[in-house]
């Protein structure tokens, strides 16, 4: 089963304030294994990047002004995700911006099956931090390259988080079970390594004589 891990970066949070997408990143998984196929594009948002967004991803207005427009890459993007389940962290945000961009150029909304890893993490770890960084820390995934958010780096991290969320159980320490296992193993080693010595007939006779003499001496 093929899936696509997807992430976007934007000029800001609110669509109502006119914020646009500046980067789209996608990587393909086939039965949870990355296929090395990816889609990636920087985009000219046709507006200025907010200061808060600039601090998050570092993409300046000057850099983005020389990039392609969404309409120039939309067909390639839609072909890449066609018929595949989308894995997104906080899907409401990314899908909201993507569907807004599609609406601006007269395209239909994305109707792929969606798995929101934010909701998966919230269900699995209620009350805990479920940001991508927090989940990387929980699963001991190296996110040292994530000094700033970029779509492809986030996709690669999210793919690892997603695989852990659906496939890896939390480690447990059952000392009683561990001790029982060791005890049984030790017994097995003792029983199978024990040497059985069969006494000779002469030794048996001498032993009986010894017992008779000592019983008479002690009790009569």
Phi-psi region of 46 (alpha: psi -120 to 50; beta: other; left: phi over 0): left
Active site residue 149: yes
Q: Which helix (H) or strand (E) holds 214?
A: helix 201-219
Rounded to an integer, what distance in angstroms lies between the CA atom of residue 173 and that of residue 152?
Answer: 36
Cα separation values, 165 from 40, 121, 155, 179, 220, Å: 25, 7, 15, 30, 80
Write down the catalytic residue from 19, 57, 100, 149.
Answer: 149
Rounded to an integer, what distance in angstroms lies between the CA atom of residue 220 and that of residue 215?
Answer: 8
Strands (E), the chain: 2-10, 21-30, 33-42, 85-88, 114-116
Strands 2-10 and 85-88: parallel
Grouping H, G, I as helix, E, B as strand and the rest as coil, residue 85 is strand
Q: Which residues are annotated as catalytic?
A: 149
């Amino acid at each position: 089963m093929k899936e696509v891990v997807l992430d976007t970066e934007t000029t800001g949070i609110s669509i109502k304030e006119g914020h646009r997408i500046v980067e789209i990143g996608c990587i393909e998984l086939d039965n949870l294994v990355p296929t090395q196929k990816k889609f990636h594009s920087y985009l000219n948002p046709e507006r200025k990047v907010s200061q808060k967004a600039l601090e998050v991803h570092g993409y300046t207005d000057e850099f983005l002004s020389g990039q392609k427009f969404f309409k120039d890459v939309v067909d390639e993007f839609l072909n890449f995700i066609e018929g595949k389940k989308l894995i997104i962290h906080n899907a409401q945000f990314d899908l909201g911006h993507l569907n807004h961009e599609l609406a601006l150029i007269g395209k239909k909304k994305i109707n792929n099956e969606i798995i929101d890893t934010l909701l998966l993490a919230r269900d699995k770890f209620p009350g805990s931090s479920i940001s991508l960084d927090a989940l990387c820390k929980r699963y001991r995934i190296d996110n040292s390259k994530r000094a700033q958010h970029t779509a492809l780096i986030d996709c690669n991290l999210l793919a690892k988080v997603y695989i852990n969320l659906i496939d890896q159980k939390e480690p447990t320490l059952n000392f009683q079970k561990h001790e029982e296992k060791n005890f049984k193993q030790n017994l097995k080693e003792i029983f199978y390594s024990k040497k059985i010595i069969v006494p000779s007939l002469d030794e048996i006779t001498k032993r009986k004589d010894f017992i008779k003499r000592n019983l008479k001496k002690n009790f009569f």
